Amino acid sequence: MSYHAKCFWLILLAAGFCLGAPRTVRADTICAICGREIQGSVYLVTDKVTGEQKLVCSDCIKSPRCYICGLPVGDNHVELPDGRYLCARDAKTVVLKADDAERICAQVKDDLDRLFARFTVFPDNVDVTAMDRVDVDSMFNGSGNDFESPNLLGCIHPETSSHETRYKMRLMTGLPLAELKATCAHEFTHAWVGENVPKERHARLARDAEEGFCELVAYMLMDSQSEEGQKKFILQNRYTRGQIDLFIEAEKRYGFDQVMDWMKYGGDAQLEAGHIEQLRDVKIPAGNAVAGNFSINKNNNNTNPPAATPAIIKLQGVFWGSQPVAIINGHSFAANDQNRLKVGGTNVTIRCLEIRERSVRIRNLDSGKEQELALPSN
């Protein structure tokens, strides 16, 4: 065979190996939506559920976006009657039926009452209904606040008749279960504020602070149910402009009872970074704490002047619920709780040993002495 013939066959043989060899496709060239190799332009889209960035091809990027994760929905998607889309993954996690949403909300109410039984109960005069994107858009249509519409997951407002006040809660359908629970807890807390925070105090309370308190309750409920993803979402959401972080810090440092006291009787409009100790600056109007079943501050006329710092340790009220709570010098105590109180110009640490219907037994941890405190006779 001539030299040129040998070269010709070698070239054909090499070409055959190249054409017939298996071709490995790199993972970083696969579209996360359709699963095919990406040809041409590549788009990077963040999955709002996992926080991961996904590669998307030029065909899939034209698909509608999932209402939950923000990724293109692809072929196996669900379209809701109000025009929202869900990808196949997120469609498995959401609550779509109004009846289911209302049932879950009732369970959230029970969960909140159990979780915070030492401190308070949440209002029963709340009526729950579902809403969808069409309802939300109609609420903001022409109001100049249409930009808020896509982030509205729930809302609540009071309706007062001659007999009572009832709260109308509306929750978005199509939310993941954990997000629906957190939203429901948030709205129930707005109702709690309406029932428990005096009108004069509510007028001075910054909206971001109220939203931060509502998010704190939702966060604590999610923590009790090990919903780490939803806890992370609450912390990342800038809705409260940082108040949620300050409320979490305050609750860890001073306890939920003192957070509640500040909401009802605090002097500042909102919490300030670096000054969490302001949470302890509360002024409970004289005569508002009385014995009974969570009966503190039922007369919100705010005609009594704020009480001065007590010169003695004084029992101001007893909440006789499933887990009794006593109010001593403006602070809430359950049995075995301990706290530092302002007494005259000094601070003392006391532990509540026992709570009765009209008295408590305490120990002064600084001196070691025990003492019984009684409510004044009517």
pLDDT in tens, 27-51: 578 999 999 999 889 999 999 888 8
Q: Under 8 Å CB-to-CB from 105, ≥6 apart: which residues?
A: 128, 169, 171, 180, 184
Q: What is the pTM of this model?
A: 0.65
Instruction: Determine the Cα–Cα distance for residues 306 and 287; give it in Å rounded to an integer.
Output: 10
DSSP state of 57: E
pLDDT band at 367 (very low <50, low <70, confident <90, very high): confident
Domain ranges of the chain: 26-89, 95-280, 315-374
pLDDT digits (tens, 9 = 90+) for 262-317: 999 998 999 999 999 999 888 877 655 433 333 333 333 333 344 445 578 888 87
pLDDT digits (tens, 9 = 90+) for 56-70: 999 999 999 999 999
Q: Count CB-CB contacts under 10 A for residue 234.
A: 22
The count of C-alpha atoms lying within 13 angstroms of the C-alpha of 107, restricted to the half-sphere facing its C-beta, is: 12
Which range among 17-26, 98-107, 238-247, 363-372 shows the weakest confidence by mean pLDDT?
Answer: 17-26
Instruction: Determine the Cα–Cα distance for residues 243 and 93; give it in Å rounded to an integer.
Output: 29
